[in-house]
Amino acid sequence: MNPLISAAELKDRLGEVRVLDARWQLGRDDGREQYLAGHIPGAVFVDVEHELSRHGEPSEGRHPLPDDAALAEAARRWGIRDGVPVVVYDDHRMLSASRAWWALRRAGLDDVRVLDGGWPAWQAAGGEIATGEVEASEGDIVLGAPGATGTIDTAGAAAWPQTGILLDARAGERYRGETEPLDPIPGHIPGARNLPIARMLTEDGRFRPASEIAAAFDEAGADGSMPIAAYCGSGITAAQLALAGDLAGREVTVYPGSWSAWSNTPGLPVATGEE
């Protein structure tokens, strides 16, 4: 199944799907306020910081995955029902929506898609806008308990380049260690290759064609002949790279702790430059 849905298709199917609004940006806490001011009709707000993440130790990174049971409870709270498709959107280049997509797919929800272009695409398509809170009826979805499926921990990330391709989804200057605005140490995991998430997206915040995404993966050495894993700053952008991989027919394992976990774990090696 294509993990994306266009605004035009969503407009036609709006009464058939459960829509989730996952607006969030790092360093901001006004996602709910933006949602209340205007959202896709029927959309339920998803709290990225508290429902798609949990509080953890610094060595777990900024956005550890929620416990399986907590995610399952949240999914029912969002009104997800068995057999009803789910569409997720946000207003910032599909970043947090991709985290929701990846988390739900890991837990066994097959029919979940991301609105390509997010809220701006919906507005550009002339989609109807609702305001205020949507109180969803309790859902009946039964999610699986994936545990660590589809993920690696810090030890796994350290070992991955020996037998696979480890991709760093951050901007090139962070990968090279020229700047680090968020984490205690600049640089990247030794052996990782840089594939900035910006290469997956168009200027207006939509995913590029699958052929262009596949070519970018190939250029980074991730042509599918070896296992692929990805990390970023705190695990959210890495989930978006996993979605891009899905578009290109590449399976991508995610290191949820990412650089925020690696750089907060004493004694780990750090690489800089293009090495």
In which region does residue 18 sit, left (phi positive, over 0), alpha (psi from -120 to 50) or beta (all else)?
A: beta
> Is 142 in a helix, a strand, or coil?
coil
To the nearest 10°, the Cα dihedral for 215, 216, 218, 224? -100
d(CA 255, CA 150): 9
Structural element, H or E, at residue 112: strand 112-115
Cross-strand pairs, 5: 115
Residue type, 91: D
Residue 79 CB partners (closer than 8 Å, separation 6+) = 18, 44, 136, 137, 138, 139
Residue 167 DSSP label: E
Q: Please check whether residue 72 is in contact with residue 78, taking contact to mean a CB–CB distance below 8 angstroms.
A: no
Q: Please check whether residue 164 is in contact with residue 226, taking contact to mean a CB–CB distance below 8 angstroms.
A: yes
Nearest Cα residue to 131 out of 252, 42, 31, 208:
42
d(CA 105, CA 2): 13
Q: Please check whether residue 190 is in contact with residue 175, taking contact to mean a CB–CB distance below 8 angstroms.
A: no
Would you name the residues annotated as active-site residues?
Answer: 232
Give the full edge-to-edge strand order of the sheet including 228-231. Answer: 193-194, 165-168, 228-231, 252-254
d(CA 126, CA 101): 24
